[in-house]
Structure 1
Amino acid sequence: MSINTPKPSRPSKTMADASAQTTDDPLANDEDRFFQLIEQLPMVAVQGYDRERRVIYWNQASTRIYGYSADEALGRRLEDLIIPHRMRDEVIEAHRVWLAEGVAIPSAELELRHRDGHTVPVYSSHVLLRQASGACEMFCIDVCLQEQKRAEQKLVRQAHYDGLTGLPNRFSMEQELACRITRAGNEGQRLALLFIDLDEFKLINDTLGHDLGDQLLQAVAARLALVVGPPNWLSHFGGDEFVAILADVDGRPEVEGFLQSLRDQFADCLVVDGVDYALSASIGVSLFPDDGRDSRSLMGAADAAMHQAKARGRDGYCFFSQAISDQLHRHQKVVTLIRQGLERDWFQLYYQPQVDLRSGRIRSCEALLRCFPAEGGAVSPAEFIPVAEKSGLIREIGQWVLQQACQQLAQWQTTPLAGLRVDINVSANQLIKQRFDDQVLEVTRQFGIPLKQLGLELTEHEMMSSQDAEMAQLHRLYNAGGHIAIDDFGSGYSSLVYLRRLPLCTLKIDRLFLQNALGNDADMAILEAIIQVGHRLGLTVLVEGVETAEQDRLVRDLGCDAAQGFYYALPMPADELVAFLATTTGADWSAFR
């Protein structure tokens, strides 16, 4: 094949021209087919240049990729067409060396220039042909990479940016934080990390729908971005959480001023489709290097401070402190203790009798969980139960309690304690995350226990905040003969009207009502009203926390059905309960004191 400067029209022949020409020369036909091929390659630009780098061939793809027609390109130099100015001298020198010394130009990805000035990514290869006459022609074969680059950029953006808000995502935030920590450490600067969590946002998604929730997140992101601009940095961490990095801060006062600006963004309602929505946020703050010297420790500190802000009542901020650090370490220690306790049988059920105030008999007791680690001592339920709730371990504990209580009831079936009811405490977590009703029915069947002998106690808060699915489980157990009690009544919503909608057998009045009633007429009136309403609804009314003879007389005078407290008996292990009941069965309670 020979392409010479005097014949520029030969290589640029169109397919129609080639197909119209007929010849008996096989080589000519092969040449025609070759030119038809390279003319039709859609995204492979092929250009020919003479030894002065003037264009002698320019296929259709070159026009599509670089914007110049063949007529515009022919005769012009390579460096005047598609070589960016910064590469001009380098390309000229590389071409000279190739001609003079035979050092080929290597193939590479390049950013070449389009006619309108923007750059085009290509993979460029080069071929040098020397003719018998001594003429040299260089051919450039440029594969356009625009689509690949767009796809790569899209993947990179998806990997680094949140598709909903357009903000950098968690992955990008972690990379940025690591870089900023390194820079701050090298330059002796301080930075602040803000963990921003919207308050009660799950309720919005659950009640108003995720579409509205997404629109609100977009609106929040836009407002936060008004405050968190360069050199600071904002990201959407995920869900309803945002993270901001404040660069080169002087100290806590400066950060507090910034926090107030953030909170001001939530002072006015967000408007979506003409409807106002009031939102607030809880913000946790950690400082570098005070609270940590790496990303993980700073994030953990800011997250812990945010949860502390929520615990204080939400719509506020909290700086990480040593007290929070100590609380975190203790929390993790208790989580470990709970896991080990379940594996190593450190847990034990204690039973506190519940007294029928009319007959003096004990027909039921409450199972209370205790923990005795192998190294000695005991861990208070007031400490490990809240940790179990937060960590989700309450579901495993609840399953263990259910199994142990039913096993104990099964052992008592052939003793005088047959028929005794054992009440266990149930967490709302068990109803939400598990098919608790199925578990109860299965375990009672497994141990041959009548369902009525297993009482289930839920706190007032858990009962009244239960959703329809959880409430349906309770109704199923109630209808099957289960005994369900509302525990600590009076400590939460205290909605007497709501009681008639619940599947209840017993109303357990919180101990605080009893303690306050003796010295306060208003509390006395409320306590009396609760008892009367409970009776009108057909419920058994039990008062907790009876500790003195005076309190015992009061609950009797008010007509309570049952009572529980240290005045009657302390919680005790199963074997002690057997001995205790053996001395009290059938006797009037006053004779036991």
Structure 2
Amino acid sequence: MALDKKTIRLLILEDSQNEAERLVSLFRNAGRATRVHRVTSAEDLEASLGQIWDLLITAPSSAALDPTQAVSAIRRHAKDIPVIRLIEGNDSDAITEALALGAQDAVPQGEDERLVLIADRELANLEERRARRAAEVALREAEKRCQLLLDSSVDAIAYVHDGMHIYANRTYLELFGYDDVEELEGMPMIDLIASCDQVNFKEFLKNYQHQEGSAELVCGGVRADGGNFKARMHFSPAAYDGEPCIQVVIRTESDSAGLEEKLREISSQDLVTGLYNRNRFLEMLEPAVERAVNAGQEASLAYIRIDRFAGLQAELGLADADLLLSDLAQLLRARFGAQQPLARFADDVFTALLPGSPTAGAEGELRALLKQAEAHLFDIGGRTVQLTLSIGLAGLDEKTARAQDVIDRAHRCADEAGDGNALKRYDPADELAAAANRGSVVAMVRQALERNGFRLLFQPIISLRGDTYEHYEVLLRLLNPQGEEVPPTEFLAAAKEAGLAAKIDRWVLLNSIKLLAEHRTKGHNTRLFIHLSSASVQDPGLLPWLSVALKAARLPSDSLVLQLSEPDAIAYLKQAKVLAQGLEELHCKLAISQFGCALNPFSTLKHLNAGFVKVDGSYTQDLGRPENQEALKTLLASLHSQAILTIVPFVESASVLATLWQAGVNYIQGHYLQGPSQSMDYDFSPDE
């Protein structure tokens, strides 16, 4: 493999110099060229993270630096460095804990062959991630170049879908005498064809829809002012924004006449300040992102905003405000070198790209700029003007795949710095918090997963038939940054859309298992019902992981009941059947919730060996009506005939208890008995 020929850049957190050298020898004996650095302190690690590393191996413990803090430092610096934790003994609990704290894997000390194999896997995964990021950058660059070629082409080019314009370049607009592409969007192309040729054009386009390859048509074109011209149109199949369409290229004798004029119009300079304009700066930023991703050449972006510029502009007037901008541009030009591109990015914003400068190094230079700008007296129209700046600073590093991400981060930092001669540096750790504060539910979910920020509640499920088990259903809650509960339907839907549902399920399982293990040590014979999402139903790795987690917690398998909703069980019946069989082998119980709403609910049970069924809440609504009681009794009787234990939820009053008892219900659940609580504290002892 090509990977084997590359030098591994290895960090080792190990107090013993001899053990660190033994680990290095292990990799070298396996044929791996290795460049290594032994971490001796938190400061040493911080300094080392300025370079590129491929792998961190940590001892079970270290007096120099706690391994968990090392993982946190890597995250804080937004470094893509896989971590392998060495642990003492083959302790499943310790392995689970190491994985939960962010390590990619954990290996018992002394299992050298296994360590090398896991390292090989993580290094291969790292290469894949780096290649993917490089490919994303290259793809965006290719798409951008294609778009630029279209926009700047001397040929008139348009894309047409179902006879309607969806894109037209500047040459095409000029050819037909339009000023803006929005004037053509949604306009039928036939409206630009001379009336005498419209029948032929319509017939041609109708036939071309069913052809492959290119075709050509000569017909008359009509300009916006009514003028006519002869055009040779070339048609070819294409795709635009992922949609199939037809590319139309029009060439006329006058195509080359305006080329020199067009080139003169293309400018990269801001007219007021003489600096680069926004478009040119963005063009220069893209290669810098590519160098950061592919070559590890870090850079920094400074987003420099004039404080209270609107007030200054109103006070000075537009002309003098432009003079102020020009003078400030001169001050900035003197501060930044020729190799540090500087642009006027917006009305009151300048941007500077600082190649080779990590944000920590650039911060000092920019703080000096703040002092210089504050102390400078601008002479504008015979009067003295003073101003201050707010600067947002963001880095370009190996994990930066999009230039727009850097700009957005620096922009947000400038906004958060306020209007007070201040600088704020982007910290990746603040990203989720900032997004959560802006109301992003997905960000709140990610933050809760990283920081154990979810809340588990427990609602008792009460036996009407003398069961000795103490049953609780586990419910998940999420608080927003303001401390208010986010509706579960809202955050679970957002998590599913973002691909986080399976991670949430594992978080709930892991934390429920820990709490249950502690609770059962107090003499409670407790069983938990835990809901699984459709993502976990489809996850083949769930059962092996669950088996390890139960063994690590020393819990019997029948202390958990995994619960699927009827809609998910039907939609993924094949996967649910595999899951049910696996749970049976583990001696875990399966429950189906929201049961009874499908056209033929019992056909699902033929494939799934469910120990419990929780009927849908709609069956408990308005149980005072005889027909509703009869529907519930009929459903329950069919379930009981199959020896399935039944649960009726949403019991909100005592009036329904007699009906449920007569119907033979096994378990009931609802606020009348007890609402969800953070403690498993319900008194299950029978009334005397």
Query: Per the shorter chain, which TM-score range?
Result: 0.3 to 0.5
Instruction: Tell me the TM-score normalized by structure 2.
Output: 0.39
Instruction: Tell me the TM-score normalized by structure 1.
Output: 0.45
